[in-house]
Amino acid sequence: MALNDADNIQQDGQVRSVELREDMHIVIVGHVDHGKSTIIGRMLADTGSLPDGKLEFVRETCRRNSKPFEYAFLLDALKDEQSQGITIDAARCFFKTNKRHYIIIDAPGHIEFLKNMVTGAARAEAALLVIDAVEGVQENSRRHGYMLGMLGIKQVSVLINKMDLVDYRQEVYNVIRKNYLEFLGKIGVQTSSFVPVSGLEGDNIAYSSSRMGWFRGKTVIEVLDDFQAEKAPEDKPFRMPVQGVYKFTRHGDTRRIVAGSIESGRISVGDEVIFYPSGKKSTVKTIESFNEASRTSIGAGYAAGFTLTEQIYVNRGEVATLLKQPRPLVTSRIRANIFWLGKEPMEKGVDYILKLGTNRVSARLEEILMVIDASTLKNKKKVCIECHDVAECILKLERHIAFDLPEEVVQTGRFVIVDRYEIAGGGIAQESLQDEQSRVREKVHLRNYKWEKNLITEEERGERYNQRSCLILLTGPPDIERKPVAKALEQKLFTEGKFIYFLGIGNVLYGIDADIKLSEQNNREEHLRRLAEVSNLMIDAGLILIVTARELSQADLELMKMAVNPEKIQTVWLGEDITTDITFNLHIPDTTSIKKNVAQIKEYMQKRGIIFKLW
Amino acid sequence: MEHLEKLENRSIHILREAYSEFTSLCMLWSIGKDSTVLLWLTRKAFFGHVPIPLVHIDTSYKIPEMIEYRDKLAFKWHLDMIYGINTKALEEKETFPDGNCTRLGCCKKLKTEALVNTLSGNWPRFRMNHDTCRYELDKNSEPYTGVIVGVRSDEEGSRSKERYFSPRGRTSNWAFADQPPEFWNQYKTDFAPGTHVRIHPLLDWTELDIWEYIKQEGIPVVSLYFNQGDGKRYRSLGCGPCTKPVESEAGNLKEIIEELKTGKFAKIAERSGRDQDKEDGGGLETLRVDGYM
């Protein structure tokens, strides 16, 4: 068997042996029956994009059935004959001008299909919005305009159709144009142009109309060719949501590659990168690819991958950014504008999933600030956000995430909401709000930013001490003794040669914390922060650190996780009763024997690979 | 960014999303040009590796060169290669070539049923052992919840209605009239127990894009696509009895691309050599609603 001649791998990925081609996706939207299909049919016919004889065939069929010919029939005929025809499919049709190839997405005008309209429009770089000259601006003319704005489609041209039915009168066109411009002005959407057309008669579609001498603008085809191809935002700060960290060690590959699609900016070998929300820092060692010429720099739009000089623990969901550029926002409370497409309304007290970039986090509706009718722009006072509503609200997330405001980087400022198993809404972040961890987070991010790197790596330290550094948090109800267990564990592992330390909380409280009052509740956060910072230093030194604390809550743990790598924290709950909401790694209900408890914790540490079992 | 580059990068993004979001994931490899491009894109997405098992549905009527090519590449590229087959229908000769059912009925048994039951793990799967180069019964019978498929929206009517991530019901059925919205590169990655998601990274590609990309990247494709001197070549590959070669002199990639752009195939559908499509009234909707690729 001959594998064809192309089995040799092309070394120079830059050499493109095929001709360059420009494609543009255009969505055509508007109220139902305002003539979208007719306009598409006419565009296909007048640009010579139809199969031979198709037009005559449809005309003949109409004549025989005593129906007036309509271009929309042509579209239907093409859909039916998809398997033999070309050019068109149910949602998309193709044609080309001298300038470029077009893919026209035919968005449904019925309100029930708003989710399909959104799906279609989101794929487009520009939009044509059709308004019937007889009916004027209708509910979905406005709603679709609003959705185009929310989806971030910047290039919109409005076609005022069926001009033949109003005798091509300029006043009709002017009134609708003024009316609709007013609406667009209120929602902040820019239009590139208005064109009076007749899809049926072909006025101003591909050819300038002689029946509307008063109109000096461009035809629809000229308007399309005037749309600008969307440029990948390379001039914005670098943002790459991490899709995964790949290490495929089979067949001897040792690379550890951070992979993701670059949403904005550019990255080069040698750049210092910082990942958010964790705030971890490293430097780009190589930019990786397969079957491409090697590169030292890569920009927005590319599905990229790079290796780092120091191995830091990062995961899917973080956003890679550049140290020298503006930072993204990090919080767990966001003010956002939302549009809702779900069958069930969005309500308080329900757990949703928010997906932003590659991050996914549990989210709740904290407050509805305003619900807006996307068509009338009227504010409604509502307790839930119903299907097709647009709302301004506050979302509370289970964990903090990194994002940008749309004026900074639009791609990392928008998200979707999943209700049960379905994407039910979309949203755009408007403001980063304070949450419980804001103060600590800010300090930790600055610390990471300023962090002085040692020449010795974490792996080297681990190898020297024959252990993985970590923080063992012993917690439990007030009546259970934790310190004796901690001290016995320290002694046991110390005699076995481990580099281990028990940090008595009092040693911190009356030393490092001497300047803050113990009793005041709002100082608790600062106590915890300092404890976490001290722990972080000791872990960095390669120690196994044991800390005891009474009744740690999940919020306490979250605070500690800000300053200490979450992967390095092991929580142990001592005692039968669980009196807080904390999620622990190990539960030891029976605390009657210290020796037994020490053995249990030791076994757990071996299982997790913190210390190693001797053969 | 250039046209093919745009397509390539979007497809890679989708492949990586699928890999991260689905724990039980597989990719259908029909050995044809489209799913081979998909396989190649996977190697690009994962920097030379293919960390996703490849599933082939063997009807036993595939053209022999296809199986030979499959196993050769599987070995060379270290692919986790799995095949499924409707042994019962073949043993009982319930096939079109045996004269016991229609073309469509045969497709339903040998392809749709075999696919649905292989994906669900109800029927045995056979996995390549790279030490012996032979197929062995696969111990894993866990259902695949994410299935990557190389369909393109320009192929025929029903495929144009697909999303990138398209849910399938408990019986693999497809409710195409009521699909979830998809925007801002966020996809349907949550699914109810018992259902699965079909993932379509090639949805935006056209037949011409596929051939131009094969040429650009130097992707090995099965020789049946080229005229071997008898003035015939396959434009679309399937089972021997139901797939006819087309009259064409195109013997290399350059000639195939030329033929699609300006030559005799510029206005003729790709699947015109596939007889089951015609039997289905021109579309594959009947087959696809039941779970066909």
User: What would the pLDDT profile of B132-149 be if each residue is shown by its tens digit?
Assistant: 889 999 999 999 999 999
**In chain B, positions 8-27, which contact chain A (CB-CB < 8 Å)?**
8-9, 12-13, 16-17, 19-20
- In the predicted model, what is the mean pLDDT of residues A16-41? 80
Contact A303 B16 (CB under 8 A): yes
Beta strands in A249-347 (DSSP E): 257-261, 266-268, 272-276, 280-287, 297-299, 303-308, 319-322, 329-340
Last residue of a domain, one of A267, A295, A322: A322
Better pLDDT: A65 or A561: A561
Last residue of a domain, one of A381, A416, A434: A434
Q: Is the pLDDT of residue B277 over 60?
A: no
B265 to chain A, minimum CA–CA distance in Å? 11
> What pLDDT score was predicted for residue A518?
66
| Amino acid letter for position A474 | L
- In the predicted model, what is the mean pLDDT of residues A150-177? 95
What is chain B's mean pLDDT, rounded?
85
> What pLDDT score was predicted for residue A125?
92
Instruction: Pick the most confident of A367-381, A415-429, B98-112, B150-164.
Output: A415-429
In this structure, is residue A4 part of a structural domain? no
Q: Confidence class of residue A15 from pLDDT cuts 50, 70 and 90?
A: very low
Residue whose entry in the numeric block shows the structure tokens 């919020």: A555
On whether both A62 and A172 belong to a single domain, the answer is yes
Beta carbon pairs, A and B, within 8 Å: 196
On whether both A90 and A50 belong to a single domain, the answer is yes
Domain range holding A515? 463-607
> What pLDDT score was predicted for residue A19?
55
On whether both A49 and A173 belong to a single domain, the answer is yes
Q: Confidence class of residue A13 from pLDDT cuts 50, 70 and 90?
A: very low
Contact A3 B183 (CB under 8 A): no
Residue of A nearest to B283 (CA): A83
Among candidates A6, A10, A83 on the partner chain, residue whose Cβ is nearest the Cβ of B277: A83
Would you tell me how many other CB atoms lie within 10 Å of the CB of residue A124?
A: 23
- In the predicted model, what is the mean pLDDT of residues A313-339? 94
Residue whose entry in the numeric block shows the structure tokens 């809404």: A425
On whether both A295 and A334 belong to a single domain, the answer is no
What is chain A's mean pLDDT, rounded?
88
What domains can you pick out in chain B, each with its CATH number? 3-205+280-289 (3.40.50.620), 208-277 (no CATH)
In this structure, is residue A445 part of a structural domain? no
On whether both A316 and A255 belong to a single domain, the answer is yes
Contact B183 A355 (CB under 8 A): no
Chain A residues within an 8 Å CB radius of B52: none
A537 CB-near residues (< 8 Å, 6+ apart): none
Contact A86 B269 (CB under 8 A): yes
Q: Are A440 and A415 in contact (CB under 8 A)?
A: no
> What pLDDT score was predicted for residue A7?
38
Backbone φ, ψ for residue A155 (5° rounding): -105, 110
Which CATH number fits the domain that encloses residue A269? 2.40.30.10
- The domain tally of chain A equals 4
On whether both A108 and A206 belong to a single domain, the answer is yes
> What pLDDT score was predicted for residue A544?
96
Chain A residues within an 8 Å CB radius of B212: 18
Q: Does A182 touch chain B (CB under 8 A)?
A: no
Identify the H or E element spanning B235. Answer: none
Cα distance between residue A175 and residue A155, in whole Å: 22
Encode pLDDT of B26-54 as tens digits.
Answer: 999 999 999 999 999 999 999 999 999 99
Encode pLDDT of A421-448 as tens digits.
Answer: 999 999 999 999 988 888 888 888 888 8
Best of A10, A263, A404, A423 to disrupt the B interface by mutation (most B CBs within 10 Å)? A423
**In chain B, positions 118-157, which contact chain A (CB-CB < 8 Å)?**
153-154, 156-157
Token pair in block for residue B99: 């004269």
Q: Of A260, A267, A261, whose CA–CA distance to A237 is shortest?
A: A267
Encode pLDDT of A361-419 as tens digits.
Answer: 999 999 999 999 888 888 888 999 999 999 999 999 998 999 999 989 999 999 999 99
Contact A23 B6 (CB under 8 A): yes
> What pLDDT score was predicted for residue B207?
86
% chain A with pLDDT above 90: 59
In this structure, is residue A579 part of a structural domain? yes
- In the predicted model, what is the mean pLDDT of residues A124-128? 93
List the Cα angle B156/B157/B163 in 5-degree steps: 100
On whether both A535 and A488 belong to a single domain, the answer is yes
In this structure, is residue A411 part of a structural domain? yes
Tell me the C-alpha to C-alpha distance, in Å, between residue B161 and each of A127, A275, B179.
20, 38, 9
In this structure, is residue A444 part of a structural domain? no
Cα distance between residue A44 and residue A94, in whole Å: 8
> What pLDDT score was predicted for residue B283?
42
Least confident of A160-164, A249-253, B152-156, B258-262: B152-156
Contact B283 A17 (CB under 8 A): no
Cα distance between residue A415 and residue A403, in whole Å: 10
Cis, peptide link before residue A277, omega less than 30° from 0 = yes
On whether both A170 and A51 belong to a single domain, the answer is yes
In this structure, is residue A443 part of a structural domain? no
Token pair in block for residue B225: 């696509």
On whether both A356 and A409 belong to a single domain, the answer is yes
Cα distance between residue A373 and residue A146, in whole Å: 10
A230 to chain B, minimum CA–CA distance in Å? 10
Cα distance between residue B9 and residue A248, in whole Å: 21
Residue of A nearest to B10 (CA): A303
Q: Is the pLDDT of residue A237 over 50?
A: yes
Question: Residue A266: beta bridge partners?
Answer: A299
On whether both A194 and A102 belong to a single domain, the answer is yes
Encode pLDDT of A529-540 as tens digits.
Answer: 899 999 999 999
Encode pLDDT of A263-299 as tens digits.
Answer: 999 999 999 999 999 888 999 999 999 988 889 999 9
Q: Does B47 touch chain A (CB under 8 A)?
A: yes
Least confident of A14-18, A280-284, A359-363, B155-159: A14-18
DSSP-assigned letters across all residues of A137-155: S-HHHHHHHHHHHHHT--E
Last residue of a domain, one of A254, A287, A322: A322
In this structure, is residue A449 part of a structural domain? no
> What pLDDT score was predicted for residue B160?
59
Residue of B nearest to A88 (CA): B154
Which CATH number fits the domain that encloses residue A502? 3.40.50.300
On whether both A473 and A535 belong to a single domain, the answer is yes
A223 CB-near residues (< 8 Å, 6+ apart): A128, A157, A192, A193, A195
On whether both A78 and A128 belong to a single domain, the answer is yes
Q: Are A400 and A331 in contact (CB under 8 A)?
A: yes
Interface pTM, i.e. ipTM: 0.90
In this structure, is residue A612 part of a structural domain? no
Q: Are B35 and B28 in contact (CB under 8 A)?
A: yes
Q: Are A40 and A93 in contact (CB under 8 A)?
A: yes
Q: Is the pLDDT of residue A11 over 50?
A: no
